[in-house]
Amino acid sequence: MALKFTKGTDSEHEVKLDSELISVSWTCGMAIGGQTASFEVLTELVGEGAPVKVKGKSERGKKLGTVEGVMRRNHFGGAFQIPEDIELGDKVFFEAKLSRNGLDGESEHIPAYPPIRVTNMKWSAQEARRGDTLTLTADIKGLPSEAEVAVVIYEYDRDGGHDRITELPAHVENNRIEIAWEYEYHEDTDEIPSQEELDKYNGQYNPPEYFFTIKAEGVEYGKKQESGLLEFKDWVGIELTDEEGKPLSDWRYKVSLPDGSEREGTLDSDGRAREHDIPPGSVIVELPELNEGTV
């Protein structure tokens, strides 16, 4: 509020300052059934502690209730619980009244949507390997087409301390989302166990597993691993050469895996071998013939 004072300063003058309602507005762009929609009222010169009453309504006659309080530093905020049976196409608004100051105002009308329902969260496969591209899908009702949501991928931790891996944008099309994600292995994956962790869980190995959630309008869906768990499978390559770099063929080898299992095989003519679909983590490669002193 701009103030202009034109009287002389050599004597006292009484100046009356009028209170003013600056804004009555929502702090969100839409109202979702079953969720809260927040608002704020901004004023000027109403006095600390001025009473305020806010009533929420919808254009189709839904009552959101009444929120009462007092102004603090010319600000008052709150939220309304949006009815779950709100209809698509309805709009909500609220009226704010400061009776002591003779002020009242109405907010903008924002679109209302029925409750968001997220179902059928699925991976395109139950296992992933390095470089695999997976498709993540889910059915979403209650949001308009082109609405943007976020898909969050977590590494599952049996103790509940799930690690966030990445967050990807997605758009709703015909009540559904579908995105592709290329799996990348992270060397610091927590679920590759140390010996201490193996001892804690009685030697049970837990391979890296992942689940995803969907964040829509401030709410995260799927936190109970409704997507199912995606398991990571790795591979290990072996190459054996002599001091001159020439391949040593047909040697027997044994690989001890992090889950306690073992695999055995023989190197090919190029001194190479590869073991697929193994649990990731530290592996130990042994050459029995070398240990037996037969070469």
| 77/132 same-domain check | no
Residue 39: which domain range?
20-113
Domain presence at residue 163: yes
CA distances from 26 to 4, 79, 90, 93, 256 (A): 32, 9, 16, 8, 61
Of 78, 113, 148, the residue that ends a domain is 113
- The residues, ordered by sequence, that sit 6+ positions from 261 with a Cβ below 8 Å of its Cβ are none
> Quick check: helix, strand or coil at residue 257?
coil
| 83/145 same-domain check | no
Contact 144, 176 (CB under 8 A): no
Kindly report the CATH number assigned to the domain that includes residue 94.
2.60.40.1930
Q: What is the pLDDT of residue 13?
A: 60
State the DSSP string of 81-142.
EPPTTPPTT-EEEEEEEEGGGTEEEE---EEEEPPPEEEEEEES-SEE-TT-EEEEEEEEES
Q: What is the pLDDT of residue 189?
A: 45
Domain presence at residue 24: yes
| 259/223 same-domain check | no
Of 192, 213, 232, the residue that ends a domain is 232
Domain presence at residue 169: yes
| 97/136 same-domain check | no
For 74, left (φ over 0), alpha (ψ -120 to 50), or beta? left
Domain presence at residue 57: yes
| 105/177 same-domain check | no
Of 184, 200, 232, the residue that ends a domain is 232
Rounded to 5°, the CA angle 246-248-252 comes to 165
User: Residue 41's Cα: distance from chain center in Å?
Assistant: 30
Domain presence at residue 6: no
Give me the tens of pLDDT residue by residue for the chain, a chain 295 residues long: 555 656 666 777 666 778 999 999 999 999 999 999 999 999 999 999 999 999 999 999 999 999 999 999 999 999 999 999 999 899 999 999 999 999 999 999 999 999 999 999 999 999 888 788 999 999 999 888 899 999 999 999 888 889 999 999 999 999 999 999 998 765 544 444 555 544 544 555 567 889 999 999 888 999 999 999 998 887 788 899 988 889 999 999 998 877 778 889 999 999 999 888 777 767 788 888 776 654 4
| 28/68 same-domain check | yes
Domain presence at residue 3: no
| 121/109 same-domain check | no
> Quick check: helix, strand or coil at residue 284?
strand
Task: Kindly tell me the burial class for residue 17, based on how many C-beta atoms sit within 10 Å of its own C-beta (0-12, 13-18, 19 or more).
Answer: exposed
Q: What is the pLDDT of residue 191?
A: 47
Say which residue the tokens 């009533």 belong to. Answer: 55
User: Position 260: which residue type?
Assistant: G
| 127/226 same-domain check | yes
CA distances from 259 to 69, 211, 247 (A): 60, 22, 30
Q: What is the pLDDT of residue 201?
A: 45
Domain presence at residue 186: yes
Domain count for the chain: 3
| 80/142 same-domain check | no
| 33/48 same-domain check | yes
